[in-house]
Amino acid sequence: MNLYLPKQVILATLLTTFLYSCSKGKSSPEEPTITPTPEETLREKYSKSSAQWPVAEWYKNIEIRELAALPKNPSNDKVELIALGKALFFDPRTGNGLKTCASCHNPDTYWIDQKTTADGIALHHRNTPSMENVWYLEGNLFHDGRAKTYREQIAEAINSPIEMGGNTSSLSSKLMSIPGYVDLYESAYNNKNMTIEGLLDAIAAYSRSINSGQTAFDRFVQGEYKALNDQQLEGLHLFRTKGKCINCHNGPYFTDLDFHNLGYAVTNKGALDNGRFESSKLEIDKGKFRTPGLRNISNTAPYMHNGSIATLSELVNLLSQGMPQKTDQQINGILSPHIQNLRLSSKEQENIIIFLSSLSSEPIKTERPILP
């Protein structure tokens, strides 16, 4: 038997032994360390385009409209037409000589009268809504949406025996006897043939010119991400998520312009208020009222169609609990499915209220016109 191995085999064996011994003397390569990406803070999540905000908590079958900054008023009525409408708005002669449109819609108090219910010729059973940004309400005027046009809404207010107590059928002939109004009308329409339609359209033009101002929320949405403080930012997030507020209060005016039954369809005298049913005659509309916009909501108490809620904190608390019925209140019709017990903590409610304050703007100074 040959005791000698080929030289090539000996060299291969030695090389294998060397490499094996080297590998034993070294540790195996370490796995690379992966540092987890820190989760974005709430401010970082919202410091971007609203399209990239955290997903809101929407109910089923809701038209999704994200919150947005106040757009430019699209009304382009003639200055002369607005001037005529403004004079009529502040003139008691538009009604029965005692009350004006501005009696309830006071520009110094965000275009409301700050009373539980409107105080016209007689006590009304509904609260005065603000007139800021009313140009977006056409087709949904009044709390119950019964007026489809500004002409219709303004004529009803003038003729109402509990509001202005006037008479639109004789208004144009009455004003034709006042030379200053003839001049205003001619400037607005290029003719002296005064008609009630022309007068109502002038008041509508002035009404459409009434805007709210820019808010901290608007600046935030437009990129000034320090415009909201931490509490307001927490409130914004709750408004869109756990609080579910965005389902009805959405878009640039914080309203879906739809009608809902919150279970408070009672007048200030305790009688049932049928709400939208009065005009639609549909049973499903009993007790429904239009969702109010929330701009300047902190400045326009009391709340609800009947002014029954004195403070914003009381209203948010009731909504958080699913609108439990107050003393002498009762559900009229079918309660909205959106009304649910959300069980918001007192701190969460406080943050939502603080957020709502970011929807406030400074009142825009309105000079009273010199009447003809």
Count of structural domains, the chain: 2
What confidence tens digit (pLDDT) does each residue in 143-187 have? 999 999 999 999 999 999 999 999 999 999 999 999 999 999 999
Spell out the SS3 assignment of 40-70: CCHHHHHCCCHHHCCCCCCCCCCCCCCCCCC
Answer yes or no: is 32 within a domain. Answer: no
Residues 345 and 249 in one domain: yes
Nearest to 227 by CA among 358, 34, 76, 330: 358
- 């090539």: which residue's tokens? 8
Least confident of 19-33, 163-177, 278-292, 321-335: 19-33
Residue 20 lies inside a defined structural domain of this protein: no
Amino acid found at 103: S
Higher confidence at residue 265 or residue 349? 349
Q: Where is the domain boundary, 177, 208, 239?
A: 208
Beta-bridged to residue 303, according to DSSP, are 309
- Which domain range does residue 109 map to? 79-208
The residue from 152, 182, 208 where one domain ends is 208
Do 85 and 190 share a structural domain?
Answer: yes
Closest to 337 (Cα-Cα) out of 72, 137, 59:
59
Q: Which of 159, 177, 208 is the last residue of a domain?
A: 208
Same domain, 58 and 159: no
For residue 124, the domain's CATH number is 1.10.760.10
Task: Give the Cα separation of 135 and 7 in Å (integer).
Answer: 101
Q: What is the pTM of this model?
A: 0.86
Residue 1 has pLDDT above 60, yes or no: no
**Per-residue model confidence (pLDDT) at position 6:** 47
Query: Is residue 19 over pLDDT 70?
Result: no
Q: If you search the block for the tokens 């079958």, which residue do you land on?
A: 61
pLDDT band at 15 (very low <50, low <70, confident <90, very high): very low
Check whether residue 138 and residue 247 sit in a common domain: no
Q: Classify residue 326: in a domain, yes or no.
A: yes
